[in-house]
Amino acid sequence: MSRKAFGILICFILLITSVFYIPIKTKSASIRVYVASHGTVYHADYTCRHLRGNNYSSISLGEARRRGLPPCSACTGNIYNPSASISTKKIYVGETAKIKLNYVTGNVVWSTSNSNISIVEKSNTKGKIKGIKKGSTTLTITGDGCIFKVKIKVMNVPATKLKLNKTKCNLVVKKSVKLKAKVSPKNTTIKTVTWKSSDEKVATVNNGVVTAKKEGTAKITAKCGNVKATCVIIVEKYSYSEQGFLVSAISVGDGKKYKQNESVMCTTTIHSKKTLDQVTLVFAKEGEEDKWIDFTKASDYRGKKDKYSFDIKLSDFSAGKWQLKNIVLQDEDGSMEVVRGFDTKYPKACFTVE
């Protein structure tokens, strides 16, 4: 191919590409549109039939909007119409929502009607907001020839679970216990817990502190938002052992000396949930086996309102000092308990046989 023929081919290719060139559409502020010399609309495609036979120029989409020119319905329609979309219009405190902008040109301005939300990200194409406190606010986005107003509702993060450190508790009259409530999730904005007792004659509650009033059962309910948790409070008159007994006082011998033909009176206060059936006093003397003395309710001891008296005959005791060591208790249902430590707790609960 000659140099002249090659040059003609190149010119032909350039002519063809210029005739069939179609501008690429973008979503940036540099989008180019076409306007006739005396046109009242802008065109997305310079081959639009409304541009044929007219002189036209290429300007930015933003400039067309600033001039107040609407789009050509034949070639543009809604293709370059500005729009804004949001992922959600309801968010919880601490959560975010994304906003997407389409064909918004110029210097885009973001603003809110109050401080219920904050704008944490913004540009000509997208943005992000964050819920700060409960309430409603209006997000306003302004660009060339367009303005968007979106009403956003910010909600408190609700509590979904409430747990107490105790679900059941035994208390003695006039004693107290502190109930602790754990609210989930950690980011909940509703953390206020209210307390209520099902029977304030039995137990009262104030900010989680439960105080026993009289014997009985009461249910303590903690509430946070729509979730609840309960603890059953069983109030007893005395601090019974697991087996249901309590020895609160005892006196025997007072460390005095007695003859072998005498008796020693033992007085004690024994609280029992059920009827006391048998009491066994265990005495210890150094160098000898422990002495077990049984008393049954039927004939051997007297009792009134948990106060009991026992006559201990000393004829079976050898000479020397005897110390009360343990008390074995048994109720009418057969529950038994060995109460130990009287030799240290009541050192005067002893006597000497001469």
User: pLDDT per residue over 262-313, tens digit each?
Assistant: 999 988 888 888 888 889 999 999 989 999 988 876 445 555 568 888 889 9
Give the separation between CA 306 and CA 240, rounded to whole angstroms: 13
- In this prediction, residue 30 carries a pLDDT of 62
Q: What is the mean pLDDT of residues 115-142?
A: 92
Token pair recorded at residue 51:
């541009």
Answer for the pair 104, 92: CB distance below 8 angstroms, yes or no. no
CATH superfamily assigned to domain 245-353: Immunoglobulins (2.60.40.10)
Which CATH class, in words, describes the domain spanning 161-236? Answer: mainly beta
| SS3 of the chain | CCHHHHHHHHHHHHHHHHHCCCCCCCCCCCCEEEEECCCCCEECCCCCHHHCCCCEEEEEHHHHHHCCCCECCCCCCCCCCCEEEECCCEEECCCEEEEEEECCCCCCEEEECCCCEEEEEECCCEEEEEECCCEEEEEEEEECCEEEEEEEEEECCCCCEEEECCCEEEEECCCEEECCEEEECCCCCCCCCEEEECCCCCEEEECCEEEECCCEEEEEEEEECCEEEEEEEEEECCCCCCCCEEEEEEEECCCEEECCCCEEEEEEEEEECCCEEEEEEEEECCCCCCEEEEEECCCCEEEECCEEEEEEEHHHCCCEEEEEEEEEEEECCCCEEEECCHHHHCCCCEEEEC
Using one digit for the tens of pLDDT, what is the confidence trace for 191-205? 899 999 999 999 999
- In this prediction, residue 69 carries a pLDDT of 86
Residue type, 1: M
- In this prediction, residue 332 carries a pLDDT of 85
Label residue 174 left, alpha or beta by phi (over 0 means left) and psi (-120 to 50 means alpha): left
- In this prediction, residue 325 carries a pLDDT of 92
Ranges in the chain annotated CATH 2.60.40.10: 83-155, 245-353
Domain 83-155 has CATH 3.40.50.1110: no
Ranges in the chain annotated CATH 2.60.40.1080: 161-236
* Nearest to 286, CA basis, from 342, 255, 325, 339: 325
Residue type, 312: I
Can you list the pairs that 43-46 forms with residues at least 24 positions away whose Cβ atoms lie under 8 Å?
A: 43/71, 43/72, 43/75, 43/76, 44/71, 44/72, 44/75, 44/76, 44/79, 44/80, 45/75, 45/76
Q: What is the mean pLDDT of residues 84-92?
A: 92
Tell me which of 7 and 127 has the higher pLDDT. Answer: 127
Using one digit for the tens of pLDDT, what is the confidence trace for 30-69? 678 888 888 888 888 878 878 887 888 888 888 888 888 8
Answer for the pair 267, 250: CB distance below 8 angstroms, yes or no. yes
Token pair recorded at residue 76:
């543009």
Model's pTM, two decimal places? 0.57
- In this prediction, residue 168 carries a pLDDT of 95
φ, ψ for residue 133, nearest 5 deg: -150, 160
